[in-house]
Structure 1
Amino acid sequence: MRILRASDYRRMPWKNGGGETREVLVSPAGAPLNEIDWRISLATIATDGPFSTFEGIERTLSVIQGAGIRLMVDNEPPKLLLDSSDPCTFAGEPTTSATLVDGTIVDLNVMTRRDAFQHSVRRLSCTGQRRLEVSASTTIVFCQRGEVQLASERLGPEDCAVFDDDTGSIDLNATEPSELIVIELSSHR
């Protein structure tokens, strides 16, 4: 298990230059955006506008702070995403944009290269002790809010724990009601 702290995430501009992202984790390490197998990042969206396009990439977006956004992907009806909504998965190629519901939001973005990896993202409410069953090659437990203990490590807001090549179970102990996002990444190779 590796612990990644919110204060250590690398800051970088969006691909389209419209804002800033904090890169939580990328594979391979240090890969430029056009060469990633997968990437997890946090983005602050302060204005309505277009999303960057990513050829060959599957994306999942989860709002973690703020009133929410309306996500428009291609010609589909807008999807309202709140900080309690199920994560929203969409292809990286279509024209995509968002309008803010009421002010700035922060989202958690998971991207995988379709021909190499697949991912699943789910929200998990946790109070007290809970066992999480996992079967992916890499599992990330991201703390949206609250505080959770994993073995001898504590996760606070926007911290995460990374489990590589672990299958089985992860024991969680929320010291207060907590909201987590569980990301599972599996290789096609």
Structure 2
Amino acid sequence: MMRRLGPADYSDMPWKNRGGVTRELLKVPHPIDPSRFLARLSIATVAASGPFSVFPGVDRILTLLEGRGMALSFGGGPEVVLDRPLRPFAFPGEADVQCRLLGEPVRDFNLMVDRAVAEASLGVLHLGPGETRTVAGAWTVLLHVLEGRVSVAGEPLAAEETLWLEEPGPRALRSDEGAVVVAILLNPRA
């Protein structure tokens, strides 16, 4: 299965803790419980310091996209500073996380995965003009273009578009003009 999504397919959702709003790019259905998700991709604007929503049993990967950054503290422990864009940071969804903005509001990319069912890896690929990169095979591959244009298996993708692939095997990404792509690999938990 291959499914292409764009801004018209995305929806704004309130945070679980009602502290803000996130743009949900894609929600992969849970294979057993329809009230939950297997994986969820979103982009959030964090406009003020405060607590993160709690998601028990969920692994999270957060990647700063824009802004000076934020400092996260876990259960009152030392802060982890996220001030460099496009560097993924993983943490458990049930953690008590407090966020302190380092300046103006920030935008971040979020991946959440039900850890009982699947494990995920997230990488940010920088493709130069005319470059081709291969993404390793996985049970499910999710690609989101942050900048530029790429083609995957003949399917063109532009900035702000997402591709959901459920066909195992490596995938070649090619960009004629250059691109920045978030590549997520989901595999069943053994």
TM-score (norm 2): 0.87
Question: Counterpart of 1:171?
Answer: 172
Q: Is this contact kept in 1: 2:148–2:180, CA < 8 A? A: yes
Q: Report the CA distance between 1:149 and its aligned residue.
A: 2.6
Question: Counterpart of 2:150?
Answer: 148
Distance 1:155 1:82, change over 3 A: farther
Distance 1:80 1:145, change over 3 A: farther
Cα distance in 1 for partners of 2:71, 2:158 equals: 28
Q: Report the CA distance between 1:23 and its aligned residue.
A: 1.3
Question: Counterpart of 1:159?
Answer: 161
Cα distance in 1 for partners of 2:77, 2:147 equals: 31
Q: Give unpaired runs (5+ residues) of structure 1.
A: none
Question: Counterpart of 2:119?
Answer: 118
Deviates more, 1:159-168 or 1:80-89: 80-89
Cα distance in 1 for partners of 2:154, 2:17 equals: 40
Question: Counterpart of 1:86?
Answer: 87
Q: Report the CA distance between 1:80 and its aligned residue.
A: 2.2
Q: Report the CA distance between 1:120 and its aligned residue.
A: 0.6
Q: Is this contact kept in 2: 1:66–1:83, CA < 8 A? A: no
Question: Counterpart of 1:41?
Answer: 42
Aligned length: 186
Cα distance in 2 for partners of 1:12, 1:108 equals: 14
Distance 1:82 1:28, change over 3 A: same
Question: Counterpart of 1:57?
Answer: 58
Cα distance in 2 for partners of 1:171, 1:135 equals: 10
Cα deviation 1:142-170 (Å, max 9, x = unaligned)? 112222233443323221111113212x2
Cα distance in 2 for partners of 1:77, 1:174 equals: 41
Q: Report the CA distance between 1:125 and its aligned residue.
A: 0.7
Question: Counterpart of 2:135?
Answer: 133
Question: Counterpart of 1:6?
Answer: 7
Q: Secondary structure at the match of 1:7?
A: helix
Q: Which residues of 2 match residues 59-78 of structure 1 at below 5 A?
A: 59-78=60-79
Q: Report the CA distance between 1:81 and its aligned residue.
A: 1.9
Counterpart residue identity of residue 22, structure 1: R
Deviates more, 1:82-91 or 1:147-156: 147-156
Aligned identity (percent) is 32
Q: Please report the RMSD computed on the Cα atoms of aligned residues, expressed in angstroms.
A: 2.1
Q: Secondary structure at the match of 1:94?
A: coil
Q: Secondary structure at the match of 2:8?
A: helix
Q: Is this contact kept in 1: 2:64–2:87, CA < 8 A? A: no
